């Protein structure tokens, strides 16, 4: 977005600013078969993710240099788009669960998902994590 604005395009609408209930989120998915065969994977992945987010937030400039090294975009837009608050240390923050719930409902309503399901059954929550 910032790259286009830097080229003179005007931002008419922003999902994050104007329609946060339509925003997307990133998730890591795996097959049930893989998780059954590798029961330690989910908790290990979640710990590595949490540690990486903590490190990136604590070393933000270093993280930005990493992002810049992997991006073809100019530095200014990458820096402008970077937001440490956009990275959560917890595996399933309530706002992400809400977005995923809305996405699932939309896909069910559109017929893209043949039968509804309980999203909670898909989460590999850490022991003791009782997010609503």
What mean pLDDT is predicted for residues 19-31? 74
Do the Cβ atoms of 68 and 78 come closer than 8 Å? Answer: yes
Indicate the pTM of the whole model.
0.70
Do the Cβ atoms of 43 and 126 come closer than 8 Å? Answer: yes
**pLDDT tens, position by position, 45-80:** 999 999 999 999 999 999 999 999 998 888 988 888
Supply the pLDDT for residue 103: 86
Q: CB-based contacts of 38: which residues, under 8 Å, 6+ apart?
A: none
- Average pLDDT of the residues of the chain: 84
């Amino acid at each position: 977005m910032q790259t286009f604005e830097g080229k003179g395009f005007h931002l008419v609408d922003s999902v994050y600013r104007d329609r946060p209930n339509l925003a997307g989120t990133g998730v890591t998915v795996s097959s049930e078969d893989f998780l059954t065969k590798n029961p330690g994977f989910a908790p290990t992945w979640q710990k590595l993710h949490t540690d990486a987010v903590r490190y990136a937030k604590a070393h933000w400039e270093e993280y930005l240099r990493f992002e810049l090294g992997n991006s073809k975009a100019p530095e200014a837009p990458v820096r402008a788009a970077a937001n440490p608050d956009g990275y959560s240390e917890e595996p399933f923050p309530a706002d992400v669960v809400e977005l995923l719930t809305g996405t699932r409902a939309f896909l069910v309503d559109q017929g893209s998902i043949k039968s509804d399901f309980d999203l909670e059954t898909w989460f590999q929550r850490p022991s003791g994590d009782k997010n609503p």
